[in-house]
Amino acid sequence: MTTRVAAIDCGTNSIRLLVAELPDPGAGASAPLVELSRRLETVRLGQGVDRTGRLAPEAIERTRVALAEYAAEIEKLGVDRVRMCATSASRDAENAADFRDMVERTLGVAPEVVTGQEEARLSFTGAVRGLPDSTREPYLVVDIGGGSTEFVVGTSSGGVTAAISVDIGCVRMTERHLQGDPPDPAEIRAAEADIVAAVDQALDAVPGREAATLIGLAGSVTTVVAIAEGLTGYDPQRIHHARVSDRAVAAVTADLLVATRAQRLAIPVMHPGRADVIAAGALVLRVIMERSGKDFVVASEHDILDGIAYSLR
């Protein structure tokens, strides 16, 4: 007997919904879920949080509008269980209670403001299911979000062995450093220094340099991979499990950092809500590859959202 679930991931930059049917428990731990609906809205909940320490009222309202649409779809699809996880922005904000109250009124369930460790575990669970058998373990899974990046090391059979979350997301780095359009060299140097320090801290903590394979999650990674692959439109099936070299990632990052927002927006695979922060996200990925010594990254379209769904088994 299958269970129909709804998973919602509310991050710093976007809010996403996955409605899926979970496999029968007797089907085995590696059995995939059946996706019924997957949606994304860019709401920029973390707008200004790094500077003000508070969620902006207009950001909470954008999130409410998107969440109301998700609630209607959840009701229409007859979901049995719902879990919403809120990540970096609502962890950091002084007025997080305003956000939680809005979610309960709109969705009917309370959001779980997960810790960085739990966020990492959920991302790992979603990412490693269905990897090709030839993918070498242990894995270093990195989830580059809007406010933070999670680093987690583990194996398919043994699960997570170590995890850490550091505050170097694409929105946070853009707001903190990359103000120009395009950013000037001094801004880029400052952002890179900030990212290098955080990445080295994370790789020492997990430890990530000893991992055999780097798995990259979330929109910054999948967008960089789509550009590197020369796609003329965003194609999740071609991006999922694509393997891209460190040289290709470095080249894409260099191009994004010297492009204007309008030029980035014109890239065929670019989501409109990501154009202003993708350069920072690409820089985070490039630094991770350099500092970890990985010469390729495997992209995954399955991430924390899938992990949240599996957790409802």
pLDDT one-digit tens code per residue, 159-197: 889 999 898 999 899 999 999 999 999 999 999 999 999
**Which residues touch 248 (CB under 8 Å, ≥6 apart)?**
228
- State the SS3 of 37-90: EEEEEECCCCCCHHHHCCCCHHHHHHHHHHHHHHHHHHHHCCCCEEEEEECHHH
pLDDT at 63 over 70: yes
Q: How far is CA 175 from the centre of its chain?
A: 18
Is CATH 3.30.1490.20 what the domain over 117-304 is classified as, yes or no? Answer: no
The stretch 226-245 carries a mean pLDDT of 94
Residue 105 one-letter amino acid: R
CATH 3.30.420.40 domain span(s) along the chain:
3-113
pLDDT-based confidence at residue 26 (cuts at 50, 70, 90): low
The answer to whether residue 81 scores a pLDDT higher than 90 is: yes
pLDDT beyond 70 at 258: yes
Mean of per-residue pLDDT scores for the chain: 90
Matching residue, tokens 């820089």:
283
Q: State the Cα–Cα distance between residues 115 and 131, nearest whole angstrom.
A: 26
Long-range contacts of 51-60 (CB under 8 A, 24+ apart): 51/175, 53/92, 53/93, 53/94, 54/93, 54/94, 54/95, 55/89, 55/90, 55/93, 55/95, 55/96, 55/98, 55/99, 60/98, 60/99, 60/102
Which of 162, 155, 166, 159 minimizes the C-alpha distance to 116? 166
3-state SS, 172-221, equals HHHHHCCCCCCCCHHHHHHHHHHHHHHHHHHHHHCCCCCCCEEEEEHHHH
Mean per-residue pLDDT for 84-92? 75
Angle of helix 185-205 relative to helix 278-292, nearest 10 degrees? Answer: 50
Domain limits, CATH 3.30.420.150, in the chain? 117-304
Query: What does the block give as tokens for 292?
Result: 């970890």
Class of domain 3-113: alpha beta
Backbone angles phi, psi at 268, to 5 degrees: -55, -35
